[in-house]
Structure 1
Amino acid sequence: MNRLLLIVLFLMTGCTSDYKIAPETVEVSPGITAPEIEVDPGRYDFGALNAGYETQDTIVTIKNIGNGDLDLTNIYLNRGNTNFSLTATPTGIVEPSQSAELVVEYSPGTYEFNNDTIVILSNDEDEPITYVYLNGSGDAPVIHITPSTYDFGTVYVGCDDGLGILIENYGNADLEITDLEYFASLPVDFSIEDFVTEEGPLPWTLTPSDWIHLKIEYTPLDLLDDGAWVEVTSSDPATPVAFSEHEGIGDYEAWITDSFTGEDGEIAVDILFVVDNSGSMSGNQTSLKNNFDDFIAVFASAGVDYHVALITTDQSEFVGSVITSADADPITEFSDQIDLIGYHGNAHEKGLWYSYESTSSGGDAASGSSTGFFRSSAKLVVVYVSDEADFSHSTSGGGGSTSMSHSDYSAHLLSLKSSSGLIAAHAVIGDYPSGCSANGSATFGDGYYDVVNDLGGTIMSICADDWSVTMETLATESMALITFLLSDDPMEESIEVQVDGVISTDWIYDSSANSVTFTTAPAEGSAIDITYAILAECD
């Protein structure tokens, strides 16, 4: 702007009229037209806000105090701190004496201290870059879990390893933990202590710098990769769900191989004879005892370790003591017990019911009985001998059950052993479907017939001419499958059986006897290798 400076000089004399007063005009050089930026405030502190919940904004006024147009070319945050944001950013021309407003918002995300600088670019030649300095802080709880990840590495199966988990509040406000869960891969080999007992019920409140301690245990039961994680839900606004992840793998410390030949195995069988003691059984009982030597001869030649016991169709208690392969004269003992049975028993024969009672808990033929008859590693065989159908479905004459079917009796017998290969039922009964009349008469052995068929057993005719064949057949069909005792306690899932170098699955393991029993006997002279891992010696 050109300016004209008029300077008027008055020369005064107080006593003469010779001087005149006249103005003098002096012209100066032309002026400059220019914008000039002014920013208010030049620095702003938002103070401390409740992180995650509080947001505050402020206005920065950009004024043009010059006499030329102010051109705002760009406005931005120098470091781009995301806790600060420019929600209204003026650009373009600001005329002289006019102003524009810049809105700045601050929202802390966690316990933190923030600062950044607003950069304003303009055409102000003296100050082309103008700065506004920003500060703020957040108040918040901060969850911190140590360790966030942990690898147990290799742990021997049967051993365990522990880990302590520390949950701390790194913030400056109370941390509320509302939920804590532990997840693990299947099968579950990880466990967490009862934290409710240790720390009390949720929710938990941790003041700043406070902490809680949890215990994790890893006990691998297999060779699979295992994984687990702690999931903690809290009031931390930045990390509402925090994790601690764990992994590990199990391994066996040592392996053992027990080698056998087919001749090395043991053959053990427990045989329960259920003998009809009704009035029509005299001749049949005589045939049974007179041919028992053929039965025992089969066992003796095979080296069978046997237990034999007798009950009747109207009582579940043993007639006499258990006859074993260690007895000096098992044939005479069997004959004497048949004589004790007699044929004056109840006419309502209930062999299924009384064999059920005898093999149920507390019975003479049950596991744990003081008679010592039942052996968990031995094959259990029930032999029914009767010239009548079974009447266990009736309660007449005592005993029996109106609610149990033949399939219930079959299921009960199967439940006594870990494998169906260790249970069998045979019968010497009247022929299907109408009975028989030779060598005395017999009605169809209904009931017994069904149970024996359910279990895949053998049915012989009670009207047969030659009971020696009957007894030899029963002995052969009752023969226990070959069993091998292991030299050490195995990890059951690790057992591998090879017969002549080929992996076999025709076997079962009995933990109570620590033995492997073949469900299909290996050929004579076979080479049998049983390999298994044993429990580690843990620190």
Structure 2
Amino acid sequence: MKKNRNLVLVLVLMSILLLGFQNCSQARFSSTDVSKNTSLNGIVNQKSLTFSVIESKNARADILFVIDNSGSMAEEQAKIAQVFSGFIAQVSNMDWRIAITTTDTSSSDTPCNEGNLCLMEPNRYFIDASTPDVNQVFMNKIQVGTQGSSTELGLTAISSFLTNKKSDYQAFMRPDATFVTIVVTDSEETSSLTAVQFLENVKAQLPQGKKFINHSSIVLPGDSACKAINSAEDKYAFKYHDVTVATGGISASICDANYGSQFKLIADTTIGKVAQQILDCAASDVLVTGPSGEIISGYGISGNKINFSPALENPGDYKISYTCAP
């Protein structure tokens, strides 16, 4: 009788194990799971990135420039002014508004601080296509000076602007327009605010359905030459870069001699085209698929960037699958 019980117990255990393996075989892994798979030789690092191309017809954008106004930024402010007319020409077919704030979140008397918008015209916090002599107005206002705090907090400034919802917010922001931020700084966000916390706050503060894109002209992570130029010890802009990648924006180098190319990419993205995406590495085994599953072939790889030529315009969701070396 005891032997029979043991036999029954063994059979039950085998049934449980078999059922367990069958259930495991039905598991499905997300792209995040796949990126963590390991092999005998190390990490496989298979990754994927999904992004969207939006319909540009009748598009609207509320564009907020967040400018570093610390003592080292006069040259960079002038570079933005030099390329503005080309930027505006590219977005001329959409309904755009542009406002400016700074990375200074101190309580000093510096204009445009704590996430408050600069006054662009008398009684007006933004410019648009109706602004007389719009190029000259922007060129004057974007050069916000270099008397701001040396603690540059661009993400904190954006968060304050969205959270406080002062009269400048009410005047500038439209519920049906894409919210676009363009951060230009030679420093990292040194507050305790993480990229994830920032994105969660933006989502909570924006009207439901309002799209958000962040672009950054920064000391790119790993760009030691740019870091040396800026004497920016421990100031690779990881947080800005992470926010930019997460929102499908353009992450460019603040050390570029001319900002024409990076602002062309920013304009393309703003009007609905996608000319570039940032990957986690210098990728290999790249496969790009379009909204209908079609294979996209018109691209080149440069470091950790994938550049599309011509820029992607067909609206829908795209996926990039690629491999990073162990």
TM-score computed with the length of structure 1 as normaliser: 0.36
* Counterpart amino acid of residue 313 in structure 1: T
Flag the structure with more relative contact order, 1 or 2, with Cα contacts below 8 A and sequence separation at least 6.
Answer: 2
* Counterpart amino acid of residue 307 in structure 1: R
1:464 alignment partner, SS class: coil
* Counterpart amino acid of residue 478 in structure 1: T
Contact 1:308 1:324 in 2 (8 A): yes
The equivalent of 1:324 in structure 2 is 128
Distance 1:412 1:365, change over 3 A: farther
Q: CA deviation at 1:448?
A: 1.1
Distance 1:438 1:406, change over 3 A: closer
CA deviation map 1:155-203 (0-9, x unaligned): xxxxxxxxxxxxxxxxxxxxxxxxxxxxxxxxxxxxxxxxxxxxxxxxx
Distance 1:436 1:310 in 2: 29
The equivalent of 1:294 in structure 2 is 86
Q: CA deviation at 1:376?
A: 0.6
The equivalent of 1:464 in structure 2 is 256
Q: CA deviation at 1:436?
A: 3.7
Q: Which among 137, 147, 167 is matched to residue 344 of structure 1?
A: 147
Q: Which structure has the larger Rg?
A: 1
Matched residues, percent identical? Answer: 25
Distance 1:379 1:266 in 2: 12
Distance 2:241 2:271 in 1: 20
Q: CA deviation at 1:433?
A: 2.5
Alignment map for 1:352-431 (pairs within 5 Å): 352-363=155-166, 366=169, 369=170, 372-393=171-192, 404-415=193-204, 416-419=206-209, 422-431=211-220
Distance 1:266 1:313, change over 3 A: same
- Bigger proportion of residues as strand: 1
Distance 2:195 2:208 in 1: 21
Contact 2:188 2:240 in 1 (8 A): yes
Contact 1:417 1:423 in 2 (8 A): no
Alignment map for 1:20-31 (pairs within 5 Å): none
Alignment map for 1:2-13 (pairs within 5 Å): none
Distance 1:407 1:382 in 2: 16
Q: CA deviation at 1:480?
A: 5.3
Distance 2:198 2:138 in 1: 26
Distance 1:297 1:436 in 2: 32
| 2:112 equivalent to 1:313 | no
1:425 alignment partner, SS class: strand
2:189 alignment partner, SS class: coil
Distance 2:165 2:152 in 1: 22
* Counterpart amino acid of residue 463 in structure 1: C
Contact 1:439 1:465 in 2 (8 A): no
Distance 2:245 2:167 in 1: 25
* Counterpart amino acid of residue 390 in structure 1: E
CA deviation map 1:197-247 (0-9, x unaligned): xxxxxxxxxxxxxxxxxxxxxxxxxxxxxxxxxxxxxxxxxxxxxxxxxxx
Q: CA deviation at 1:450?
A: 1.9
Contact 2:220 2:238 in 1 (8 A): no
Distance 2:248 2:262 in 1: 17
The equivalent of 2:74 in structure 1 is 282
The equivalent of 1:476 in structure 2 is 268
Distance 1:413 1:480 in 2: 21
Distance 1:391 1:448, change over 3 A: same
- Bigger proportion of residues as helix: 2
Distance 1:387 1:522, change over 3 A: closer
CA deviation map 1:400-434 (0-9, x unaligned): xxxx42211111223314337x2111100012135
Contact 2:219 2:227 in 1 (8 A): no
Distance 1:272 1:279 in 2: 21
CA deviation map 1:326-368 (0-9, x unaligned): 21222111111123x10111000011111101122423564xx
Contact 2:91 2:270 in 1 (8 A): no
1:380 alignment partner, SS class: strand
* Counterpart amino acid of residue 271 in structure 1: I
CA deviation map 1:96-120 (0-9, x unaligned): xxxxxxxxxxxxxxxxxxxxxxxxx
Contact 1:433 1:444 in 2 (8 A): yes
Contact 1:426 1:452 in 2 (8 A): yes
Distance 1:436 1:419, change over 3 A: farther
The equivalent of 1:437 in structure 2 is 226
Alignment map for 1:189-338 (pairs within 5 Å): 265-300=57-92, 303-314=93-104, 315=113, 316-320=115-119, 321-338=125-142
Distance 1:465 1:346, change over 3 A: same
